[in-house]
């Protein structure tokens, strides 16, 4: 019984599978309702990415975390709607900054309409997320506000790049912790909190969410280099072509030059060039796939997943804990 195919997560427990599927269906319906506007164009643009689908990892984590309390508590589904609408809003803004033409297999709003419409639609989604959030109480508002600050700060860090004397790899991990980890941490926190779980359980699931958020992003970095495109859902080497330094490249740059390997020097030379050229891009991708930096990137990704798994140790045994551990296994599968 599969809940979310992109993560390879299979929930074998019938009752848990039923609860999670019902919760995710309720989230879809609530999101569709939340983005309706009196202006038809706003409804169309705000619904654009919702209808395109997606992994729904954040709502999934809310549902699994809620299993450690009352999964039917009234705040669980709205909390999942908040985190997913917030995530979607950031995608609208990201697509403008990246000038992305396609997202989830459909034209982006900035490509189909224009940048102004995309930015304002993202703002609209933030506002609707805030409306839903306001019904969850002041503590939930504070938690979301703190996470949103971290998310925006992470984006600013990425835009500014590492400063003089900064470790580029450390800077990159700080960016991921803010841009990705913060909101996924809130997903674990909201699910447990809204379900009335014990405070120590809420804290564990918050920390787990942050680690898993980083692990999944690092797994995407590895997939961008290692996959043939079917699993990652995008053209291999996209980040490489765009000159975006992700984990494998940053690890390579931190390693000493291998004087005995002329291909190492050649790869470093290519990484300094314009890789929008198809021939240079293909050569760089081929060389990076065989470079030790890629294996190091795999190990680093697995380290985050195993740290997330270790955080779960104090939680009571059961289907929900097994499902969370299964997400750790999914990271390993994605980086093979």
- Residue 322 pLDDT exceeds 90: yes
Give dist(CA 213, CA 324) in Å, integer: 13
Residues 6+ apart with CB under 8 A from 83: 58, 59, 62, 183, 186, 187, 190
- The residue from 158, 173, 197 where one domain ends is 197
Give the tens place of pLDDT for each residue, 270-284.
999 999 999 999 999
- The residue from 169, 197, 225 where one domain ends is 197
- Model pLDDT, residue 142: 97
Which contiguous run of DSSP H or E holds residue 120?
helix 115-134
The confidence band for 50, taking pLDDT boundaries of 50, 70 and 90, is confident
Judged by average pLDDT, the poorest of 50-59, 230-239, 276-285 is: 230-239
38 and 182 assigned to the same domain: yes
Task: Evaluate whether 60 touches 84 at the Cβ level (below 8 Å).
Answer: no
Q: Which domain holds residue 210?
A: 199-335
Q: Is residue 7 part of a domain?
A: no
Concatenating the DSSP letter of every residue in 232-275 gives TSS-TTHHHHTT---HHHHHHHHSPP-TT-HHHHHHHHHHTS-T
135 and 250 assigned to the same domain: no
- Model pLDDT, residue 102: 66
83 and 219 assigned to the same domain: no
Give dist(CA 187, CA 191) in Å, integer: 6
Strand 2-4 and strand 9-10: the pairing is antiparallel
Q: Which residues pair with 142 in a beta bridge?
A: none
- The residue from 138, 166, 197 where one domain ends is 197
272 and 321 assigned to the same domain: yes
Q: Is residue 2 part of a domain?
A: no
203 and 166 assigned to the same domain: no
- The radius of gyration of the chain's CA atoms, rounded to the nearest angstrom, is 20
Query: Cα–Cα distances in Å, from 323 out to 8, 219, 306, 319?
Result: 11, 19, 14, 6
Q: Is residue 6 part of a domain?
A: no
The confidence band for 100, taking pLDDT boundaries of 50, 70 and 90, is low
187 and 209 assigned to the same domain: no
19 and 143 assigned to the same domain: yes
What is the number of domains present in the chain? Answer: 2
Q: Which residue has the tokens 């975006």?
A: 244
Tokens coding 218: 């690092």
Residues 6+ apart with CB under 8 A from 120: none
106 and 208 assigned to the same domain: no
Residues 6+ apart with CB under 8 A from 294: 222, 225, 226, 248, 288
157 and 264 assigned to the same domain: no
Q: Where are the alpha helices (DSSP H) in 135-256?
A: 138-160, 168-176, 182-194, 199-226, 238-241, 247-254
Task: Evaluate whether 85 touches 47 at the Cβ level (below 8 Å).
Answer: no
Phi-psi sector, 107: left (phi>0), alpha (psi -120 to 50), beta = beta
Give the tens place of pLDDT for each residue, 243-263.
888 999 999 999 999 888 899
37 and 104 assigned to the same domain: yes
CATH number of the CATH domain containing 46? 1.10.600.10
Does the reported pTM lie above 0.85?
yes
């Amino acid at each position: 019984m599969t809940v979310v195919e992109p993560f390879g997560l299979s929930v074998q427990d019938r009752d848990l599978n039923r609860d999670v599927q019902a919760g995710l269906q309720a989230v879809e319906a609530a999101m569709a309702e939340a983005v309706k506007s009196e202006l038809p164009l706003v409804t169309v643009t705000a619904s654009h990415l919702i209808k395109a689908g997606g992994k729904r990892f954040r709502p999934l984590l809310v549902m699994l975390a809620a299993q450690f309390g009352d999964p039917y508590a009234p705040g669980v589904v709205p909390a999942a709607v908040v985190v997913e609408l917030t995530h979607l809003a950031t995608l609208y803004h990201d697509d403008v900054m990246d000038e992305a033409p396609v997202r989830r297999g459909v034209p982006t709003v900035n490509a189909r309409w224009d940048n102004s419409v995309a930015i304002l639609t993202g703002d609209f989604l933030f506002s609707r997320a805030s409306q839903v959030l306001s019904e969850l109480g002041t503590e939930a508002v504070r938690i979301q506000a703190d996470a949103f600050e971290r998310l925006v700060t992470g984006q600013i860090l990425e835009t500014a790049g590492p400063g003089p004397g900064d470790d580029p790899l450390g800077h990159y991990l700080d960016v991921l912790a803010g841009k990705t980890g913060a909101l996924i941490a809130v997903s674990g926190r909201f699910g447990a909190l809204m379900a009335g779980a014990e405070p120590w359980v809420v804290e564990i699931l918050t920390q787990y969410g942050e680690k898993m958020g980083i692990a999944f992003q690092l797994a995407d970095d590895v997939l961008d280099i290692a996959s043939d495109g079917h699993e990652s859902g995008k053209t291999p080497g996209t980040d490489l072509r765009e000159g975006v330094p992700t984990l494998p490249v940053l690890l390579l740059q931190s390693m000493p030059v291998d004087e005995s390997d002329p291909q190492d020097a050649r790869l470093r030379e290519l990484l300094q060039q314009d890789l929008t050229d198809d021939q240079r891009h293909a050569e760089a991708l081929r060389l990076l796939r065989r470079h030790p930096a890629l294996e190091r990137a795999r190990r680093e990704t697995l380290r985050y997943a195993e740290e997330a798994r270790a955080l779960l140790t104090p939680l009571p045994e059961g289907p929900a804990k097994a499902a969370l551990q299964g997400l750790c296994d999914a990271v390993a599968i994605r980086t093979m």
